[in-house]
Amino acid sequence: LWQGRKPIQGKIYFSVNFLCFYSFIVGKQTRILIRWTEITKLDKNEPLLFPQTIKVVTRNASYEFSLLTNFREVYKLASQLANMAMKQ
């Protein structure tokens, strides 16, 4: 996860209803829980440093996740889950 120019190392999790991120480094915990229905835009982003970045935009915030293992599969799954949530 990128917050500004600072990376936060952690894990991203997908469920049927949520996109989740969790990090615990040096006593600092970061948790993000986003409902698929809150996502207004899900896009592959092309920043200068890390080309494999998923940009998640909600009504209130924007998040960028990069350095993902199996980037294409992760993006495809996220897109499918977001589309399923929109159809319901």
d(CA 30, CA 28): 7
Question: Which pTM was predicted?
Answer: 0.80
pLDDT number for residue 14: 92
In this predicted model, what pLDDT tens digit does every residue of 24-71 receive, in sequence order?
988 889 999 999 999 999 888 765 666 688 889 999 999 988 877 778
- Examine the pLDDT at 86 and tell me if it is beyond 70: yes
d(CA 22, CA 8): 10
